[in-house]
Amino acid sequence: MDTYLSLLAWGSGGWGDEIAAGIWLTVTLALATLPIGLVLGFFVALAKNSEEPSLKTAANIYTTLFRGLPELLTLFIIYFGLQILLRNVFTSIGLTPIEINSFVAGMIALSLVFSSFASEVFLSAFKGIASGQYEGASALGLSRLQTMRLVILPQLVRLALPGLSNLWLILLKDTSLVSVVGLSDVLRQSSIAARVSREAFFFYFVACLIYLVLSIISSVGIGRIEAWTRRGDLGR
Amino acid sequence: MTDAALPPPPPAPKGWTGARLAGHVFLGFWVLAGFAIVLGVATGWDGTFLATYGPRLIEGLKVTLWLVFWSLSIGALLSLPIAAGRMSKSRILGGFAFAWVYFFRGTPLLAQTFLVYYGAGSFSAELKALGLWDFFREAMFCAVFTFALNTSAYQAEILGGALRNVPKGQREAAAALALPRHVTFFKVILPQALIVALRPYGNEIILMIKGSAIASIITVLDLMGETRRAFSRSFDFEAYLWAAILYLVMVEILRRVWDLLEKRLTRHLQRREE
């Protein structure tokens, strides 16, 4: 037991600080992906909800692609594809090509996946809002932007939150894939520790526990947000 | 006044609204991207890539299907006792089933795969004594083992949720008709539960097809593994495009089949056009 604890010690003797750095990277990556994915997903949902056929088709192609591809494949396509694309573009205009950061590649890939699933959540939330809400807002003389901001969005958030919190938990787990393209997240740091210390089971188990703890913390946070969105219901 | 005789006003002309413009730009982007891909493949086309790696990709596809089939089947069997545990009144059984489901759903599949494949080495002496070492030394078996455990947790939740979804009155009515318990379960409860469970089961198969790509990281040569190998040897991006097409086709076929299945199973619920 003591030997295991010393493996997790801080500093040069143990792997505690390395793994903590990995946790930091995992959390930052997930938090950096979330807003991009949410905004993209919202606009894709708007596009799917629109009456314009070209917009609908384009949005459907987007979600079919990124919901159907394995997340790992999306990551590789973005990582290697962007690299090749940037190299070609930069050399053709006579600049030295820049290396694509694996953090950015991971963020883009995860945002694409997150947003295509989020658009489905937003879309079904849109369907849950009665058309009377739009008609009422229009009767009050609200502009389209005002209707969206003051009437639809507050209700949309409440309807979409359960689905979105599910997607957040999936996102947290999907961040582990970036360890494959060399980002030092929880899993990669644990892998290094496992290889060096030859305690593979212990370190991978610790990594699993860290993901569990992160999801428990998230659930508590999501519960608070849910209570906050429902604060209007209390009086009734 | 002759108001009533006036013809209705012509419909407002459809102009270039913002949505229309955005739609065309968005769609144009896809067309352009598709064109660029086709052009990129066509300019580098000499047929050598497919001739060299095509058969290997097909082999990889077979391995992926094999992985998915066995993982889902073993997972389905495992999910039965877990779902039963989740619904049992025993605290120990319920707690165990809950912990199982929570662990496998709360941690990344990649981490679980590493835990089994590399972690097995930590118990090599014990596993050798049990005669299981040969099993855990093989990356392919480790992948099936992990995926089966993983999907068993998800399938148990799908099954449990669907069974709980059947109204209590159905059970009571069956009891009032003096139906034996197994008849109640197989003829009354299960058919209704399956309708609810169908969609999530389909999603779980899709998740497994996509998740099975993870096996490539522990050296299994599934579709993803063969793709990575082809790319690292040829540096031809075409490899990833073929893999993407194959995965998309698999998922789309499954989705279509599932839509048909759902239509058939819920045919008594659909309004008939008279």
What one-character-per-residue DSSP string does A122-151 give?
Answer: HHHHHHTS-HHHHHHHHHTT--HHHIIIII
pLDDT at B37: 80
B103 to chain A, any CB pair closer than 8 A? The answer is: yes
**Inter-residue contact B62 to B136 (CB < 8 Å):** no
pLDDT digits (tens, 9 = 90+) for B151-207: 999 999 999 999 988 898 998 999 999 999 899 988 999 888 888 899 899 999 999
Q: Residue B175: exposed, middle, or buried by beta-carbon count in 10 A (0-12, 13-18, 19+)?
A: exposed
Helices (H), B88-132: 91-106, 109-117, 124-130
- Mean pLDDT taken over chain A: 89
Q: Is B221 left (phi over 0), alpha (psi -120 to 50) or beta?
A: beta
Q: What is the mean pLDDT of residues A214-223?
A: 93
Q: Do B209 and A70 touch (CB under 8 A)?
A: yes
Which chain B positions have a beta carbon within 8 Å of A211's beta carbon?
106-108, 111
Interchain contact, B244 vs A57, CB within 8 Å: no
Taking contacts as CB-CB distances below 8 angstroms, the residues of chain B near A59 are: 26
CATH code where residue B255 lies:
1.10.3720.10
Residue A53 confidence (pLDDT): 87
Q: What is the number of other CB atoms lying within 10 angstroms of the CB of residue B199?
A: 15
pLDDT at B209: 95
Residue B192 domain flag: yes
Structure tokens at A212: 């569990």
Which of these, B139, B157, B164, B131, lies nearest to B75 by C-alpha position?
Answer: B157
Q: Which of B30, B119, B247 sits opposite A204 (nearest CB)?
A: B119
CB count in 10 Å sphere of residue A29:
21
Q: Which residues contact A160 (CB under 8 A, 6 or more apart)?
A: A121, A122, A125
Q: Is residue B168 part of a domain?
A: yes
Spatial contact of B202 and B260, defined as CB atoms under 8 Å apart: no
| Helices within A140-199 (DSSP H only) | 144-146, 153-174, 186-197
Chain B residues 174-233 with a CB less than 8 Å from chain A? 206, 209-214, 216-217, 224, 227-228, 231
Radius of gyration of chain B (CA): 26
Which among B111, B219, B149, B217 is positioned nearest to A26, based on CA atoms?
B111
Whether residue B100 is contained in a domain is answered as: yes
Q: State pLDDT tens for residues A150-169.
A: 999 888 988 999 899 999 99
- Banded pLDDT at A15 (limits 50, 70, 90): confident
Q: Which two tokens stand for residue B258?
A: 């599932």
Other CB atoms within 10 A of residue A113 CB = 25
Query: Half-sphere exposure of residue B194, counting CA atoms within 13 Å on the CB side?
Result: 13
C-alpha A117/C-alpha A119 separation (Å) is: 5
pLDDT at B274 over 60: no
Domain that holds residue B146: 56-266
Indicate whether B143 belongs to any domain: yes
Beta carbons of A81 and B240 less than 8 Å apart: yes
Q: Pick from B193, B142, B154, B139: which is nearest to B72 by CA?
A: B154
Rounded Cα gap, residues B122 and A28, in angstroms? 32
Would you say B72 and B205 are in contact if contact means Cβ atoms under 8 Å apart? yes
- Nearest C-alpha of chain B: how many angstroms from A72? 7
Per the domain annotation, does B9 fall within a domain?
A: no
Alpha-carbon torsion (A122, A128, A134, A137), positive or negative: negative
> Taking residues B138-142, what's their average pLDDT?
91
Structural domains present in chain A: 10-230 (1.10.3720.10)
| Angle, CA B105 vertex, CA B102 and CA B107 arms, to 5° | 100
B246 CB neighbours in chain A (<8 A) are none
Tell me which residues of chain A, numbers 118 to 177, contact chain B at a CB-CB cutoff of 8 Å. 169, 173-174, 176-177
- Note the pLDDT tens digit of each residue in B117-136: 998 888 888 888 888 888 88
Task: Please give the residue that has the higher pLDDT: either A79 or B39.
Answer: A79
pLDDT of residue B15: 67
Inside any domain, residue B10: no
Q: Is residue B43 part of a domain?
A: no
Whether residue A28 is predicted with pLDDT greater than 90 in this model: the reply is yes
CB-nearest to A204 from B115, B211, B228 is B115
Distance CA(B140)–CA(B218), nearest Å, equals 8
B77 is a domain residue? yes
The tally of domains found in chain B comes to: 1
